[in-house]
Structure 1
Amino acid sequence: MACPLQEIDKYLYAMRLSDETLLDIMARFKEEMRNGLSRDYNPTATVKMLPTFVRSIPDGSEKGDFIALDLGGSSFRILRVQVNHEKKQNVNMESEAYAVPENILHGSGSQLFDHVAECLGDFMDKREIKDKNLPVGITFSFPCRQSKIDEAILITWTKRFKASGVEGSDVVKLLSKAIKRRGD
């Protein structure tokens, strides 16, 4: 019996494409991206493209303590990133993944964001940082319409998510309300 990696190599070798075919695929993909970015063609485009308000990447001058949230897969992840510049830039990261139960995926938006806020509270309690006012970044892995950096209107749920009352709403506000309901 062949090794699984050998099987993969055989499969990839069988999929070799000519330069002409690759150029055709590139041209089609480029056209679909253009359609996705176009106001006129976006609704029917096969590759949806939505503008973002994140306009730069880290440049090495950043420092501080940050929280990152990631919702969109089979779990909800929270990350604490500490960046300092003592002798050289040093980055310390701690993370934790929290399950998102099926009844919450298909429940109400309030239940979903209450769950997210509860997980965030738990994460901060464990690290004894609940008294800190830390900047938060959110990766919300669903198509959203943005008009500013701290607003994201959910267009439609994808993946297994179906929480009611969220489509057409600002997920940043929903999360903020859930955190306030907890008193955090």
Structure 2
Amino acid sequence: MFFVFSAFSTFSAIFSKNLFSVEILLIKLFSAEFSSLFSRNSTYSPLLKDLLRGLGKHSHHKAPVKMLPTFVRATPDGTEKGDFLALDLGGTNFRVLHVRVEEEAQKVLKMDSQICAIPQEMMLGTGEQLFDHIATCLGDFLESHNLKGQTLPLGFTFSFPCEQLEIDKSILIRWTKGFNCSGVEGKDVVQLLKEAIHRRGVGPQTLPEITFMWPAEPFFQLRNFTLCMSTFKI
């Protein structure tokens, strides 16, 4: 679940003046941004409360919805260009994508993708088997698209509850969505992916998923910048 907010400087100014009223302000800001979702439909009131618990410094560890910092401190500004790879694991299917951003008279975005199935036995097998399968799918994709041998930035969407410790270090809290691979919970999934890629001889760099921007200071004791946050129900 991803939310995108604007007016980050306004948020930061409000929070720095009065942290004690932050929950009230958050309710108003959420309602203003998502009036159709929260204000007009009482069904989502429990969700809003869970989101606020996940954001709170003192309630975060008990919250059923985790609002976790990603350590990504900026969103794309439109000047990016080049070739990028993306991996998307979040269910029984796994996607590999190649995105090319070209700068000509105007921005041109080209994207190729391939879907690989995740068999049920692999969802319940070992972590090494799962990540080897991911790396194999990536290698096959690179081969079929004449990208093998290139060093390309790689974004990894790993849609499970994780605690992000650095921009390229993310610890799996627990499996969901029918996955229960051994040897992964409590481990750095980026490192597991790197090891599998190394075993398969693929070798691109890795970067984490970008989710949404949020002022970090009042919640995670990080100052003077906005931060991308991942939202997970566990």
Spell out structure 1 runs of 4+ moving beyond 6 A.
Answer: none
Aligned counterpart for 2:155 among listed residues 107, 125, 137: 137
Query: Which residues in structure 2 correspond to 1:76-91 (within 5 Å)?
Result: 76-91=94-109
Partner of 2:68, secondary structure, is coil
Structure whose residues are more often strand by fraction:
2
1:153 maps onto 2:163 in alignment: no
Larger RCO (CA under 8 A, 6+ residues apart): 2
1:169 corresponds to which of 187, 210, 216:
187
Query: What's the counterpart of residue 80 of structure 2?
Result: 62
Query: Aligned pair 1:73/2:91, yes or no?
Result: yes
Give the structure-2-normalised TM-score: 0.65
Supply the RMSD in Å over aligned alpha carbons.
1.8
35 and 134 in structure 1: CA distance in 2 versus 1, 3 angstrom threshold:
same
Give ranges in structure 2 of 5+ residues lacking alignment. 1-38, 203-234
* Alpha carbons of structure 1 residues 72 and 24: separation in structure 2 relative to 1, 3 Å: closer
What is the distance in 2 between the residues matched to 1:69 and 1:108? Answer: 19
1:21-100 matches, cutoff 5 A: 22=40, 28-100=46-118
TM-aligned CA deviation for residue 50 of structure 1: 1.4
User: Aligned residues: percent identity?
Assistant: 51
Alignment TM-score, normalising by the size of structure 1: 0.82
Q: Retained in 1: the 8 A contact 2:92–2:119?
A: no
Gaps of 5+ in 1: 1-20
Q: How many residues align?
A: 164
Displacement after TM superposition at 1:23 (Å)? 7.8
User: Does 2:127 match 1:113?
Assistant: no
